């Protein structure tokens, strides 16, 4: 790992934009929402 914390990610504007888009795309609502599984992968080669 490169020492990046959750707070670092939450302070990154482009990450916040993408998280908000994903939230809206998930159609959050008690009756009509849907969920899709997924995960975030760290690319150690990209930091070099």
> What is the residue extent of each domain of the chain?
6-47
pLDDT digits (tens, 9 = 90+) for 18-46: 989 988 887 777 666 566 677 777 776 76
Rounded CA separation 18/27 (Å): 15
Q: Single out the residue of 24, 43, 44, 42 nearest to residue 34, CA to CA.
A: 24
Full-model pTM: 0.52
Q: Single out the residue of 4, 42, 40, 43 nearest to residue 19, CA to CA.
A: 40
Per-residue confidence (pLDDT) for residue 1, from 0 to 100? 56
Q: Single out the residue of 45, 27, 46 nearest to residue 36, CA to CA.
A: 27
Residues constituting the chain: 48
* pLDDT at residue 3 tops 90: no
């Amino acid at each position: 790992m490169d020492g990046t914390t959750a707070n670092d990610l939450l302070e990154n504007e482009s990450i916040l934009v993408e998280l908000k888009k994903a939230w809206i795309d998930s159609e959050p609502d008690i009756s009509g929402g849907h969920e899709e599984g997924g995960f975030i992968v760290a690319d150690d080669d990209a930091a070099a």
